[in-house]
Amino acid sequence: MKQTGAALGLAVEWLKNCKSLFVLTGAGVSKESGIPTFRDALEGLWANYNPEQLATPEGFRKNPSLVWQWYDSRRQKVKDVVPNPGHFALAELQKMVPEFFLCTQNVDGLHIRAGSSDVVEIHGSISRFKCFDNGHVQTEVPYDLKDPPLCECGSLVRPDVVWFNEPMPEKLLKQSFTAAEKADVALVVGTSGLVYPAASLPFHAKQSGAKIIEVNPNRTELTDSCDLFLAGPSGEVLPQLVEGLK
Ligand code: OAD
């Protein structure tokens, strides 16, 4: 879907003159890699469960095997997909602006696999594990386990992702707010803007005078506060932005 020349041209203009770019991505940026967005991740087998049952400490305590298997199926899916042109465009964009900060809500690791560096994974990573009681880091966790393995301390092992009702990694959150407040342009890609505090980051950038550009096929909770809305899939729109900067 070609962007209207005007909107795309303006976005390219802002990026050309940008000193410090803050980028927030959500599940939409991985959709074209074949990863369902968070709210439609509960397809098929998982359709009868809601995220609150699967992505919460209570859900894990109540049924560790169910939650473990849901994350294992998502980790397997991530293993079999590749970054899409949207991820690669952001990795290129990082080299084209003086200062670049990428904060992602995604746990799939695709930005890193596309070559982005210093990615802040504010909701953690599906490929990292820790023990439930003490946060002991686990390595080499096999696929296809039916039950969560045990840590040496005896606690159940869990994915190192942020669940509902859990605090976000304080340090990463602070870094992200500082970067958002410093930015003169913020790019918000593929997020419904429903989950806080991540969704408040673009507002922090705006309060500090940044211009906000949103890339999404659909309007979202954030759209009305954005200065520019580029309607379309990020796998098509982001490469067009990068092309325009060359
Ligand atoms: P959502 O599933 O809430 O929203 C996905 C967004 O991607 C929607 O706005 C879609 O319109 C958009 N989208 C779909 N296809 C797209 C495409 N090809 N290109 C660009 N955008 C596209 O996912 P998130 O906003 O990421 O938290 O959800 C935020 C958080 O809610 C997740 O990180 C998760 C959940 O609670 C945790 O796991 C802690």
Residue of 29, 30, 31, 38 best suited for mutating to test ligand 1, as the one with most atoms within 8 Å of CB = 38
Does ligand 1 have an atom closer than 6 angstroms to the CB of 218? yes
- Considering the chain, what is the average pLDDT of its residues? 93
- Our answer on whether the CB atom of 87 is closer than 6 Å to any ligand 1 atom is no
Are domains 5-34+83-123+168-245 and 44-79+131-161 of this chain identical in fold?
A: no
Residue 218 CA, closest ligand 1 atom number = 11
Over its C-alpha atoms, the chain yields an Rg (Å, rounded) of 18
| pTM assigned to the model | 0.94
Residue nearest to atom 15 of ligand 1 (CA): 28
* Ligand 1 contacts CB of residue 219 (under 6 A): no
Instruction: Assess if CATH 3.40.50.10210 describes domain 5-34+83-123+168-245.
Output: no
pLDDT (0 to 100) of residue 2: 45
Q: Is the peptide bond before 197 cis (omega within 30 degrees of 0)?
A: yes
For the chain, domain boundaries: 5-34+83-123+168-245, 44-79+131-161
Question: What gap in Å lies between CA 14 and CA 213, rounded to an integer?
Answer: 9
CA of 221 to the centre of ligand 1 (A): 12
Q: Which residues are catalytic?
A: 123
Q: What is the pLDDT of residue 41?
A: 55
195 lines ligand 1 (CB under 6 A): yes
Instruction: Give residue 123 CA to ligand 1 midpoint distance, Å.
Output: 13
> How far are the Cα atoms of 52, 153, 156, 165 from residue 133, in angstroms, in the given order?
20, 9, 7, 16
Q: What is the pLDDT of residue 7?
A: 93
pLDDT, tens digit (0-9, with 9 covering 90-100), for 59-97: 999 999 999 999 999 999 999 999 999 999 999 999 999
CATH architecture of 44-79+131-161: 2-Layer Sandwich (3.30)
Q: CA 6 to CA 21: how far, in whole Å?
A: 21
Whether residue 192 contacts residue 168, with contact meaning beta carbons closer than 8 Å, is answered with no
- What pLDDT is stored for residue 237 in this prediction? 97
Whose Cα sits closest to atom 18 in ligand 1?
Answer: 233
What pLDDT is stored for residue 224 in this prediction? 95
Q: Residue 191: CB within 6 Å of ligand 1?
A: yes
Tell me if 85 CB under 6 Å of ligand 1.
no
Q: What pLDDT is attached to residue 167?
A: 92
User: Could you list the mean pLDDT of each consecutive 10-residue stretch along the chain, which spans 246 residues?
Assistant: 75 98 97 84 65 87 95 93 98 98 97 98 97 96 97 97 93 98 98 92 96 96 95 97 97
Place of tokens 């795309």: 8
Q: Which atom of ligand 1 is nearest to the CA of 193?
A: 25
